Chain A
Amino acid sequence: MSLDLLTYIFIGGSFALYIGIAIWARAGSTKEFYVAGGGVPPVANGMATAADWMSAASFISLAGIVSFIGRDGAAYLMGWTGGYVLLAMLLAPYLRKFGKFTVPDFVGDRYYSNLARTIAVVCTIVISFTYVAGQMRGVGIVFSRYLHVEIETGVIVGMVIVFFYAVLGGMKGITYTQVAQYCVLILAFMVPAIFLSMQVTGHFVPQAGLGATLETGKSVLTTLNELSVELGFAEYTQGNKTTIDMFFITAALMCGTAGLPHVIVRFFTVPRVKDARISAGWALIFIAILYTTVPAVAGFGRVNLIETINGKDNAGVEYTQMPEWFKNWEASGLIAWADKNGDGKVYYSAGNAFEGGKPQYDATGARGEQGERLTTNPSDSASEVYVDRDIMVLANPEIANLPDWVVALVAAGAVAAALSTAAGLLLVISTSISHDLMKKTINPNISDKQELTYARLAAIVAIIIAGYFGINPPGFVAQVVALAFGMAASSVFPAIIMGIFSTRMNTQGAVAGMVVGLTTTIAYIVYFKFMGGTADEWWLGISPEGFGTVGMLLNFIVATLVSRMTPQPPQEIQHIIEDIRIPRGAAEAQVH
């Protein structure tokens, strides 16, 4: 059976499954649409949270990032998992007890203010759109790469599928499709990783394999360190980022994770307060299966890559001797080679092989002497090869010579990762519009049925906008991820924490804190990402990725100061706070 046919079967089969679940889990009320009726078992919610959380970026790009930056990749590995500890202890149980549908619900009610609610709504929508654009693009890329259709076609197919289960099923449909998507994506990630670990080290468990000793008598990591130094990189197990920057980036990602609306809202779907804690525990286990495998895939992938390209003697290998996958991925633009010294050998080392980082291929599609795709911008660095980071996961099955069905499985896994995250985000956007804006702010008199119609309409509009961004990606998608986490860390996260842990925090404090936190964070990121600020101007050496932490600290300080100078919150608010701190009564609290 050909690879194309297998890929169609795997992706088609998974789509049939998702649609089947969507039809089975149609939502009949706003409560089912927003929070799946509040009756999702914690294990299922943990899986759904994991699928929601692990996006196309986690699945495709994370191993590549770690592979190319070595130890510093820990900022992402710890940052994107440590937030769940914060969720389990500081947010999820209390928000579940509060028992409404959305993050702006909590912020608006706790701070008895539509201004606070509106700030939370704007943050929610901006954060979610930032994210979702990347997901739709991810679906399109996977389609075009594996099924040889245009990216646009891929995006449209993705839109139709998401439309089906997000619009029909709401949170209920999304939750159960996410459970299925988690199974597909984790299988697709683990199978090649286990094969790879067996091949390189003989260890069945990739996590342990990374510490193994190779036939040469050296450990994997020592080999990596020596190879890296020989090629002019820093040692793999050493960091390049400063300690303070690592600290602030990790903190911004952790607090940002705990403040992301599409993650928080998942904890509204379980029956009891206790289940909110338990499902955070499950979610982190399911996420950790992938996240602790990532460093192994990164390490093995890098050893394989360097040894394949440069040969065991590290002198370079003739282009004509390159394996099939090298040429396949060159054809799709993830690899490029320029024979700078004219010896016909491919050689990889530190430094950008091409001016500006990415290769520009010859527009006429001309081929060089050896049959390589010609490029127009080789640099004067000794390195002759451009390798896209994403290759570490996408090309793994081919590098390890795995059977075709594994390649097809990886394709289905990447699509599952992108779709599950996109659906979760679209739901949050539509809820924000129908519930927080329409029902709570503009027209409180609409009926449940009308609100549900608005929610579905908003979901449709959101899918169309997300699809538009997927087809015409704004050039700044990669840059704005820092913005999404920075915004979540500096606004939503502190506002919720103070709302639970301080009975003294009032509207004035919360609003002032959010405004100060948001504006400083956004200003800093915009200055360095879009207005040409350079790294030597970083305040205390903190990169824009890490500045959300500063914004968060400012938020806490300003909010505390302002609340001390303004009147206490009213008595009934203090009762609400006392009430959310006690688990009993959550089941009643959800019926309004």
Chain B
Amino acid sequence: MSTQSESASSYWRENLRIITTYMVIWFAASYGCGILFVDELDKIQFFGFPLGFWFAQQGAIYVFIGLIWAYVFSMNRLDEKYDVHE
């Protein structure tokens, strides 16, 4: 029982670490590039868009999609590793 709950809590810690990493990227792409530093990034041109504007209206959304799928794959691996998959 104790090894089982140890394994459960280490599974949870790894999950939290993955979530934290991805949430940092989530924040940086949307709030960072799209809102806080948008004016600085606008000085860079990106395929005809000012970069900050592009992040605010398109780029952040692509990053969101990438993040969810990255999380799906990370968690599938983690579930296998700790043998908690269904």
Chain A residue with minimal CB distance to B75? Answer: A277
**Residues of A close to B36: CB separation below 8 A:** 243, 247
Q: Bound complex: CA of A207 vs CA of B62, how far in Å? A: 11
**Residues of B close to A210: CB separation below 8 A:** 48-49
Q: Is the CB of B31 within 8 A of A71?
A: no
Q: Is the CB of B57 within 8 A of A73?
A: yes
**Residues of A close to B72: CB separation below 8 A:** 88, 274, 277-278, 281
Q: Bound complex: CA of A355 vs CA of B47, how far in Å? A: 41
Output the least CB separation between B77 and chain A (Å): 11
Residue A39 CB within 8 A of the other chain: no
Interface residues of A in 215-254 (CB under 8 A from B): 219-221, 237, 239, 243, 246-247, 250-251
Q: Is the CB of B60 within 8 A of A78?
A: yes
B23, B61, B79 interface centre (most CB from chain A within 10 Å):
B61
Q: Is the CB of A247 within 8 A of B50?
A: no
Residue A77 CB within 8 A of the other chain: yes
Q: Is the CB of B86 within 8 A of A273?
A: yes
Q: Is the CB of A237 within 8 A of B23?
A: no
The number of residue pairs between A and B whose CB atoms lie closer than 8 Å in the complex comes to: 129
A78 with B85, Cβ < 8 A, contacts A71-B56, A274-B75 known: no
**Residues of B close to A288: CB separation below 8 A:** 61-62, 64-65
B12, B48, B49, B69 interface centre (most CB from chain A within 10 Å):
B48
Partner of A239, one of B8, B38, B48: B38
Chain B interface: which size bin?
35 or more
Q: Is the CB of A74 within 8 A of B57?
A: yes
**Residues of A close to B22: CB separation below 8 A:** 85, 89
Q: Is the CB of B86 within 8 A of A587?
A: yes
Q: Bound complex: CA of A14 vs CA of B59, how far in Å? A: 34
Output the least CB separation between A80 and chain B (Å): 10
Interface residues of B in 31-53 (CB under 8 A from A): 31, 34-36, 38, 42, 46-50, 53
Q: Bound complex: CA of A358 vs CA of B38, how far in Å? A: 33
Q: Is the CB of A285 within 8 A of B57?
A: no
B22, B38, B64 interface centre (most CB from chain A within 10 Å):
B64
Q: Is the CB of B57 within 8 A of A66?
A: yes
Q: Is the CB of B30 within 8 A of A272?
A: no
Q: Bound complex: CA of A66 vs CA of B47, how far in Å? A: 20
Q: Is the CB of A295 within 8 A of B8?
A: no
**Residues of B close to A587: CB separation below 8 A:** 86
Q: Bound complex: CA of A81 vs CA of B30, how far in Å? A: 10
Residue B67 CB within 8 A of the other chain: yes
Chain B residue with minimal CB distance to A272? Answer: B86
Partner of B86, one of A78, A207, A278, A583: A583
Q: Is the CB of B71 within 8 A of A584?
A: no
A77 with B56, Cβ < 8 A, contacts A243-B36, A581-B12 known: yes
Residue A412 CB within 8 A of the other chain: no
Binary contact track A163-207/B, C-beta < 8 Å → 1, others 0 = 000000000000000000000000000000000000000000001
Residue A292 CB within 8 A of the other chain: yes
Q: Bound complex: CA of A212 vs CA of B48, how far in Å? A: 6
Q: Bound complex: CA of A77 vs CA of B19, how far in Å? A: 23
A85 with B84, Cβ < 8 A, contacts A78-B34, A208-B47, A247-B31 known: no
Q: Bound complex: CA of A288 vs CA of B71, how far in Å? A: 18
Q: Is the CB of A89 within 8 A of B19?
A: yes
Q: Bound complex: CA of A181 vs CA of B50, how far in Å? A: 35
Q: Bound complex: CA of A74 vs CA of B30, how far in Å? A: 9
Output the least CB separation between A292 and chain B (Å): 5
Output the least CB separation between B26 and chain A (Å): 5
A82 with B26, Cβ < 8 A, contacts A288-B61, A295-B58 known: yes
Q: Bound complex: CA of A93 vs CA of B11, how far in Å? A: 15
Chain A residue with minimal CB distance to B64? Answer: A85
A81 with B76, Cβ < 8 A, contacts A207-B58, A211-B49, A246-B35 known: no
Partner of B30, one of A82, A212, A243: A82
Q: Is the CB of A284 within 8 A of B65?
A: yes
Q: Is the CB of A82 within 8 A of B60?
A: yes
Q: Is the CB of B64 within 8 A of A221?
A: no
Output the least CB separation between B10 and chain A (Å): 12
**Residues of B close to A382: CB separation below 8 A:** none
Binary contact track A39-68/B, C-beta < 8 Å → 1, others 0 = 000000000000000000000000000100
27 CB < 8 A contacts A-B = A74-B57, A77-B58, A77-B60, A78-B30, A78-B61, A81-B60, A82-B26, A85-B23, A89-B22, A89-B68, A210-B48, A211-B46, A211-B48, A237-B42, A251-B31, A273-B86, A274-B75, A274-B76, A274-B79, A281-B65, A284-B65, A292-B62, A295-B57, A578-B5, A581-B11, A583-B84, A585-B86
A residues lining the B interface (CB < 8 Å): 66, 71, 73-74, 77-78, 81-82, 84-85, 88-90, 93, 207-208, 210-213, 219-221, 237, 239, 243, 246-247, 250-251, 272-274, 277-278, 280-281, 284-285, 288, 291-292, 295, 578, 581-587
Given contacts A85-B23, A93-B75, 8 further A-B contacts (CB under 8 A): A82-B26, A82-B64, A88-B68, A221-B48, A221-B49, A247-B36, A578-B8, A582-B8
Q: Name the 4 nearest CB pairs between A and B, nearest first.
A: A211-B48, A74-B56, A295-B57, A281-B68
